[in-house]
Amino acid sequence: MQVAELEVHNKSGLHARPAATFVKTAAGFRSSVSVENLTRGAAAANAKSLLAVLGCGVEMGHRIRVSAEGEDEEAAIAALRTLAEGGFGEAVAG
């Protein structure tokens, strides 16, 4: 299992469009991928489900833990880390 703890820097957090981008990226891997909002203490959710990701309530400044387990777990974590560091395709607060 691969795990990464990341901080969310984009202004809208993981809502609507950035959540859809996150889910689309996670769904591109065979591994099981989960996300949990460490800031809110929410339980891990399926990162391949838009409703589950939205339910995490991730906002700007929150810390998330992304976990992947399976044959392409390292690639999944690397891709999701890059996505988060790039603000999920949105402007990053500065």
Determine whether 15 is an active site residue. Answer: yes
| For helices 16-27 and 73-85, angle between their N-to-C axes, nearest 10 degrees | 160
Which member of 9, 15, 48, 62 is catalytic?
Answer: 15
Joined tokens for residue 24: 């689309």
Query: How far is residue 4's CA from residue 1's CA, in Å, rounded to a whole number?
Result: 10
Catalytic residues: 15
